Amino acid sequence: MKQMEPQLSVIVPAYNCEKYIAECIDSILSQLPENSELIVADDGSEDDTRSVLAQYEGRQENLHILYEAHRGASGARNAGLNAAAGRYAAFVDCDDCLRKGFLEKALLLLESGADLYIFGIERILLDGTRQTGAVEDMEYGDISSFADDYIRKGRMMIYSNCNKFYKRSVIEDLNLRFDEKISFGEDRLFNYSFLPGCRSVVTSSLIMLDYIQRSLHSMSTRHIPFYFDRVMELHQKKMDCFLELSKGTTQEERRRFSDGDLEKEISGAVARASAHPKEREEVLAKIRRMRPFEEFYAALCKKG
The answer to whether residues 113 and 255 belong to one domain is no
> Which residue, of 163, 180, 212, is where some domain finishes?
212
The answer to whether residues 195 and 57 belong to one domain is yes
The answer to whether residues 208 and 70 belong to one domain is yes
Beta bridge partners of 8: 88
Half-sphere exposure of 128 (CA within 13 A, CB side): 0
Is 270 or 188 the better-scoring residue by pLDDT? 188
- What residues make up the domain containing 144? 8-212
Longest dimension (CA), the chain: 71
- pLDDT tops 60 at residue 191: yes
What does the pLDDT read at residue 293? 52
80: domain CATH number is 3.90.550.10
Does 218 map to a domain? Answer: no
The answer to whether residues 109 and 253 belong to one domain is no
Does 101 map to a domain? Answer: yes
Does 13 map to a domain? Answer: yes
The answer to whether residues 140 and 250 belong to one domain is no
The answer to whether residues 184 and 269 belong to one domain is no
The answer to whether residues 24 and 103 belong to one domain is yes
Q: List, for residues 18-27, the tens digit of each pLDDT value.
A: 999 999 999 9
The answer to whether residues 82 and 157 belong to one domain is yes
The answer to whether residues 144 and 176 belong to one domain is yes
The answer to whether residues 296 and 260 belong to one domain is yes
Of 17, 184, 115, 31, which Cα lies nearest the Cα of 40? 17
C-beta separation of 242 from 257 below 8 A: yes
pTM of the model: 0.90
The answer to whether residues 85 and 195 belong to one domain is yes
Does 202 map to a domain? Answer: yes
C-beta separation of 214 from 20 below 8 A: yes
The answer to whether residues 86 and 187 belong to one domain is yes
Does 131 map to a domain? Answer: yes
Does 217 map to a domain? Answer: no
What does the pLDDT read at residue 223? 67
> Which residue, of 212, 243, 270, is where some domain finishes?
212
What does the pLDDT read at residue 155? 84
> Which residue, of 184, 212, 240, is where some domain finishes?
212
Q: List, for residues 84-135, the tens digit of each pLDDT value.
A: 999 999 999 999 999 999 999 999 999 999 999 999 999 888 777 888 889 9
Q: What is the DSSP letter of 127?
A: T
Task: Tally the domains of the chain.
Answer: 2
Q: List, for residues 217-273, the tens digit of each pLDDT value.
A: 544 456 677 788 888 899 999 999 999 999 999 999 999 999 899 888 887 777 776
Distance CA 202, CA 74 (A): 25
Helix axes 277-288, 227-245, angle to 10 degrees: 50
How many other C-beta atoms lie within 10 A of the C-beta of residue 216? 8
Does 221 map to a domain? Answer: no
Distance CA 9, CA 37 (A): 5
Beta bridge partners of 139: 202
User: Quick one: pLDDT band at residue 304, thresholds 50, 70, 90?
Assistant: very low
Q: List, for residues 47-75, the tens digit of each pLDDT value.
A: 999 999 999 999 999 999 999 999 999 99
Q: What is the DSSP letter of 283?
A: H
